[in-house]
Amino acid sequence: MNGRPLFVAFKTLLFKEVTRFTRIWQQTVLPPIITTSLYFVIFGNLIGPRIGAMEGFDYMDFIVPGLILMSVITNSYANVASSFYSAKFQHSIEEILVSPTPSWLILAGYVGGGVARGILVGLAVTAVSLFFSELQIHNVAVLCSVVVLTAVLFSLAGFTNGMLATSFDDVSIVPTFVLTPLTYLGGIFYSVNMLPNFWQGVSHANPILYMINAFRYGFLGISDIPLGWSYLLIFGFIAALSTVNLWLLARGHGIRN
């Protein structure tokens, strides 16, 4: 399989994934918009004015980039983890496994679906944020590259979760106990410079901090972390997770006896 047939197979997988999450948009697209709107209302509108400025910006303006990226992270991850696990659970993954579609293309198709949902939800949350904040863009290239790379990274992580999961509980454990705490502690609502030295050091072990700060740089031009470190970390994780996923696919972990 090469050239045009590979492209057709990728398009098919991507289209199937997009069709899946748009068919159930009430479960996939709507909830993050409502949740993030509540964050804007409660933290931005109600509590924000009492907090005052953060790193020289209105509190609402400060939290908007983090909340957009949080929705991208959680949706990219959830889309791939749940879709891949469902395909495993229903055995419909066998449709692809019996075909000549190579492993790397299976991974690319699912990641493409995760990125599509992450970006779609991110755009919807950005549109909602316009009701609360006058968004400014400092560097559009950084903004676009960080959001796409972060969506790729968390789609890959979701794929690993889907491959390793043996029950639907396993699909929800990581987002609940790992992803959400790391996201909240990743500097969405505060600057790590506010923390005591020890906790600043601890925060720097959180990879999500690097992504949120790079994304915030794209909007506001400020970051607690040097931009180069953020890109290095994102590319490093993408490379590592891609390798792990391709290895799992080659072994047929959980999908081949």
Partner 1 sequence: MQPALEIEGLKKTYANGMTALHGIDLKVDDGDFFALLGPNGAGKSTAIGIICSLVNKSAGRVRIYGNDIDVNFSRAKACLGVVPQEFNFSIFETPLQVVLNQAGYYGIDRALARKRAEKYLTQLGLWEKRRNQCRMLSGGMKRRLMIARALVHEPRLLILDEPTAGVDIEIRHSMWAFLRKINAEGTTIILTTHYLEEAESLCRNIAIIDHGRLIENTTMKRLLRQLRRETFILDTDQPVGELPPDLAALRRIDDTTLEADVERGENLGRIFTRLDAHGIVVTSMRNKSNRLEQLFIDLVKDGREARQ
Stretch of residues binding partner 1 (CB under 8 A), selected from 43-51, 95-103, 145-153, 219-227: 95-103
Tabulate helix, strand, coil % of the chain (nearest 5). Answer: 80, 0, 20
Tell me the two tokens of residue 163: 């491959």
Tell me the closest approach of the beta carbon of residue 13 to partner 1, in angstroms.
8
Residues 113 and 11: beta-carbon distance below 8 Å: no
Shorter beta-carbon distance to partner 1: residue 117 or 216? 117
Residue ranges in 20-49 that form contacts with partner 1 under rule CB under 8 A: 20, 23
Residues 42 and 123: beta-carbon distance below 8 Å: no
Q: Check residue 257 for interaction with partner 1 (CB under 8 A).
A: yes
Among 38, 47, 100, 184, binds partner 1 (CB under 8 A): 100
Q: Is the dihedral of CA 233, 161, 69, 182 positive or negative?
A: negative
Tell me the closest approach of the beta carbon of residue 10 to partner 1, in angstroms.
9
Q: Check residue 166 for interaction with partner 1 (CB under 8 A).
A: no
Among 99, 136, 167, 176, binds partner 1 (CB under 8 A): 99
Among 29, 97, 123, 227, binds partner 1 (CB under 8 A): 97
Size of the site for partner 1 (CB under 8 A): 31
Residue ranges in 124-153 that form contacts with partner 1 under rule CB under 8 A: none
Task: Quickly list DSSP for 128-142.
Answer: HHTTT-----S-HHH
Distance CA 191, CA 195 (A): 8
Q: Check residue 13 for interaction with partner 1 (CB under 8 A).
A: yes
Stretch of residues binding partner 1 (CB under 8 A), selected from 88-96, 154-162, 174-182, 214-222: 88-96
Q: Check residue 4 for interaction with partner 1 (CB under 8 A).
A: yes
DSSP helix/strand/coil, 54:
strand
Tell me the closest approach of the beta carbon of residue 75 to partner 1, in angstroms.
19
Distance CA 206, CA 214 (A): 14
CB atoms within 10 A of CB 52: 8
Distance CA 21, CA 72 (A): 14
Task: Quickly list DSSP for 56-113.
Answer: TB-HHHHHHHHHHHHHHHHHHHHHHHHHHHHHHHTTTHHHHHTSS--HHHHHHHHHHH
Tell me the closest approach of the beta carbon of residue 1 to partner 1, in angstroms.
5
Tell me the closest approach of the beta carbon of residue 100 to partner 1, in angstroms.
4
Q: Check residue 252 for interaction with partner 1 (CB under 8 A).
A: yes
Tell me the closest approach of the beta carbon of residue 114 to partner 1, in angstroms.
17
Residues that bind partner 1 (CB under 8 A): 1, 4-6, 8-9, 11-13, 15-16, 19-20, 23, 86-87, 90-92, 94-102, 252, 256-257
